[in-house]
């Protein structure tokens, strides 16, 4: 969902036009001050500062149709970091230029400026060095491959090496499919043993602790599924502690978790719901009729079968949610909690 914010009559007209032109591709809400309110345009306040405050935390993409100087002054107190700030674009009220102002990479403002410009026949204004020099920044690389950046300071340092034509290698310890369009003459894929031939490295791994003597950034694939079950009213802290301990034992980075997966009868279990929120991951709910199709692949419990109608929870749930992926840890039990760990089967993309 996008928001368009403007405070002039011409700006409102242009916003309505942009929304109509983007109707089939983008979902857009238009905001203005009360003075210029009209049908289809929201005007919750007469104060621009208050309006921007309301919109800034609600939308992932905001297009301002007004002078860039006004936007800079208005959003300055609200800016936190590239991890959480929305993509901010600025456009003139004739719709001739679209500036990527904030969160160009992680928030996607650069790409969104290009997409919008193509739709409305405008000119995208991109100022980030990696883009204008046809080099990929680490945060863009991570976003395109759904990787977690463990340290943004390191990411910035390695990006600078790439932009400045220093040789940087990608050490792909996780075996993900790397989009070849992200590579360039000074950014290549190589093995860990050859890192001394480079000035910097991008290490893609679910492990940690790398003995490497050059600047590097660690990117974590988020493709681990935890199949989980528990007794009713199991304490949240017990589930979290079990997950942390188990992940550490098998040397998987905690940020590699993409989702928890459980049976439908546990979808409202408070311990599982709070654990999902604690780790900031998705929760996949697998219905028992689907589990029944796969439960014979795993050891079953007669007690679980009698209680909920299927003989196993954690393993078939993890298996299904991982798209029949690789089991890294078979069902393990602790204090009434069952856990299995799965690596998702990677989706195959064309032209990669």
**Fold of the domain spanning 138-221:** 3.40.1390
pLDDT of residue 348: 53
Q: 210: pLDDT confidence band, cut at 50, 70 and 90? A: confident
In CATH, the architecture of 224-343 is 2-Layer Sandwich (3.30)
Residues of the chain with CATH 3.30.420.180: 224-343
Task: Determine the Cα–Cα distance for residues 19 and 21; give it in Å rounded to an integer.
Answer: 5
Lowest mean pLDDT among 141-150, 192-201, 341-350: 341-350
> What mean pLDDT do residues 108-122 have?
94
Residue 339 in contact with residue 242, Cβ under 8 Å?
Answer: yes
- pLDDT, tens digit, for every residue of 1-25? 999 999 999 999 999 999 999 988 8
pLDDT for 349 equals: 45
For 2-127, give the CATH class.
Answer: alpha beta
Token duo for residue 160: 């600078």
**Burial grade of 155 (CB within 10 A; 0-12, 13-18, 19 or more):** buried
Residues of the chain with CATH 3.40.50.11220: 2-127
The per-residue pLDDT of the chain, averaged, comes to 93
Per-residue model confidence as pLDDT tens digits over 20-43 = 999 888 899 999 999 899 999 999
The pLDDT tens digits of the residues spanning 174-183 come to: 888 998 989 9
Say what the pLDDT of residue 268 is.
Answer: 95
Residue spans in the chain of domains classed CATH 3.40.1390.40: 138-221
Mean pLDDT of 206-233: 92
Read off the tokens for 273. 């719901």
Residue 199 CB: number of other CB atoms within 10 A?
Answer: 16
Mean pLDDT of 104-122: 93
pLDDT, average across residues 167-193: 93
Work out the average pLDDT over 275-288: 96
Q: What is the dihedral of CA 142, 143, 148, 150, to 10 degrees?
A: 60
Q: What is the pLDDT of residue 350?
A: 43
Strand 123-125 to 28-31 pairing: unpaired
């Amino acid at each position: 969902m996008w928001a368009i914010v403007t405070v002039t009559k011409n700006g409102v007209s242009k916003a309505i036009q942009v929304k109509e032109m983007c109707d089939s591709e983008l979902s857009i809400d238009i905001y203005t001050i009360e003075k210029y309110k009209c049908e289809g345009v929201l005007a919750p306040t007469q104060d621009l500062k208050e309006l921007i405050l309301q919109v800034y935390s609600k939308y992932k993409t905001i297009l301002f149709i007004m002078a860039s100087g006004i936007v800079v002054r208005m959003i300055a107190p609200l800016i936190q970091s590239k991890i959480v700030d929305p993509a901010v674009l600025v456009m003139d009220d004739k719709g001739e230029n679209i500036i990527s102002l904030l969160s160009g990479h992680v928030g996607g403002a650069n790409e969104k400026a290009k997409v919008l410009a193509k739709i409305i026949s405008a000119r995208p204004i991109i100022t980030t060095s990696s883009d204008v020099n046809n080099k990929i920044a680490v945060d863009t690389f991570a976003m395109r491959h759904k990787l977690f950046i463990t340290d943004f300071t390191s990411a910035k340092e390695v990006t600078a090496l790439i932009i400045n034509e220093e040789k940087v290698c990608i050490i792909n310890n996780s075996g993900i499919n790397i989009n070849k369009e992200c590579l360039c003459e000074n950014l290549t894929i190589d093995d860990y043993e050859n890192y001394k031939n480079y000035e910097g490295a991008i290490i893609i791994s679910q492990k940690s602790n790398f003995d490497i003597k050059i600047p590097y950034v660690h990117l974590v694939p988020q493709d681990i599924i935890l199949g989980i079950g528990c007794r009713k009213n199991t304490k949240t802290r017990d589930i979290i502690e079990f997950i942390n301990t188990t992940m550490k034992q098998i040397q998987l980075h905690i940020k590699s978790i993409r989702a928890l997966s459980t049976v439908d009868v546990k979808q409202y279990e408070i311990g599982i719901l709070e654990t999902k929120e604690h780790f900031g991951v998705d929760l996949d709910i697998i219905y028992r009729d689907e589990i029944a199709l796969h439960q014979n692949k795993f050891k079953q419990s007669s007690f679980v079968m009698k209680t909920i109608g299927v003989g196993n929870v954690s393993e078939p749930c993890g298996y299904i949610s991982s798209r029949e992926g690789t089991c890294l840890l078979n069902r393990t039990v602790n204090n009434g909690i069952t856990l299995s760990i799965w690596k998702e089967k990677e989706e195959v993309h064309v032209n990669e």
